[in-house]
Structure 1
Amino acid sequence: MAETVRVRRIADEDWDAVVALERDAYTGLGLSEGRAVLQSRAAASPDTCFVLDVGARTAGYVLALPYPFRRYPDLERAEDTATVSGPGNLHLHDIVVAPGLRRRGLARHLLRHLAGTARARGDERISLVAVGATEPFWSARGFVTHPGVVPTGAYGAEAVYMSRPVPASPALPPSLREVS
């Protein structure tokens, strides 16, 4: 029997797993933020931050915050609720899937959920900073680059600010659909 996949809001008991996933994904890039900063981001926008469960396991997470277009969180500072903005642009700050569960469509599952959240909020765009040479991955999902937005070194080498329109309907472009 296949395990149930569920996306839900982050709960207090999820933080050990979220911190471990974030540390494993970003420490090698020098971009790990630590528990307090991660929790501050979720506290600033709890309705746009989620965990992904596969069966009973926390298998991934997404932290997204409403930020003005062409702005992004400072990696070295906790989130201040005054920084976040109203609908318009939802900034995908972190998306991580556990290494043993990658290439199964789980990130697409999180992206679909996030797109639905952005649509329900009235956002027009989803933005992100592509790190660790992931620009081709995000380009294949409809994100376009905006050169010069992220200062050199702010998010590591090769970091680039990218965005895409929020899909107008629940049907996503083929690049974001799960492949059977």
Structure 2
Amino acid sequence: MNQRAGSAPAIRRAVAADLPALQRVYRAASLSNADDAPILLRRPEFLVFTGDGIADGRTLVALAGPPGDDRVVGFATSGTGQDTGPELEDLFVDPDWRRRGTARHLVRQIANAACDSGHRRLWVTGNPHASAFYLAVGFVPVGPVSTALGTGLRMYLSLNPS
């Protein structure tokens, strides 16, 4: 049985053995937007996920479920922004697993950890094609920013300390 829409996927910290699955999800998700694919294919170095956050526990994976089904269907990596605080560095979901709440649950886990650490905001520089998702989960746009692949959208999520 597959994860139902809206149900929480199993989420755990990534381990080194997950890297090939993360690379598969990263590539498939990156190329799934027809507007981005030509640019990425001309710059293949941007299609390589190195997994820098795995060893230090910053990457979370979402699993297909049910328990025992360890197929990675999405992942998120957190980091520390230079001046702003915690960053959502990566958020990728296998295109076949989108619209089931996977990305929303990954963001929630990253946001909860940032809040538990005393932070008031979670930052992201998002692809403009993902702006509707980020707005739907509560991110507030700050403005456009230049990235290596073009213009991104700088946004933050207010965290409510409990």
TM, length-normalised to structure 2: 0.76
Within the alignment, does 1:51 sit opposite 2:61 as a pair? Answer: yes
1:54 Cα offset (Å): 1.6
- Decide whether the 8 Å contact of 1:8 with 1:51 is kept in 2: yes
Letter in 1 for 2:99: R
Q: Which residues of structure 1 form unaligned runs of 5+?
A: 71-88, 170-180
Q: Distance in 1 between the 2:126 and 2:9 partners? A: 26
Q: How many residues align?
A: 144
- Decide whether the 8 Å contact of 1:133 with 1:158 is kept in 2: no
The 3-state SS of whatever aligns with 2:122 is strand
1:17 Cα offset (Å): 0.4
Q: Distance in 2 between the 1:158 and 1:139 partners? A: 17
Within the alignment, does 1:22 sit opposite 2:26 as a pair? Answer: yes
1:126 Cα offset (Å): 0.6
Q: Which residues of structure 2 form unaligned runs of 5+?
A: 32-36
1:132 Cα offset (Å): 4.2
Match of residue 83 from structure 1: none
Match of residue 42 from structure 1: 54
1:6 Cα offset (Å): 1.2
Q: Distance in 2 between the 1:64 and 1:20 partners? A: 19
1:146 Cα offset (Å): 2.1
The 3-state SS of whatever aligns with 2:119 is coil
Q: Distance in 1 between the 2:137 and 2:9 partners? A: 21
Match of residue 160 from structure 2: 167
1:100 Cα offset (Å): 1.3
1:155 Cα offset (Å): 4.3
The 3-state SS of whatever aligns with 2:91 is strand
Identity fraction in percent: 26
Which structure dedicates a bigger proportion of its chain to strand? 2
Instruction: Give deviations 1:99-124, integer Å, cap 9, x for gaps.
Output: 11111111111111111111222222
Moved over 6 A (4+): none
Q: Distance in 2 between the 1:122 and 1:139 partners? A: 23
Q: Distance in 2 between the 1:41 and 1:155 partners? A: 20
Instruction: Give deviations 1:50-91, integer Å, cap 9, x for gaps.
Output: 111122211111011022345xxxxxxxxxxxxxxxxxx210
1:73-88 aligned within 5 A: none
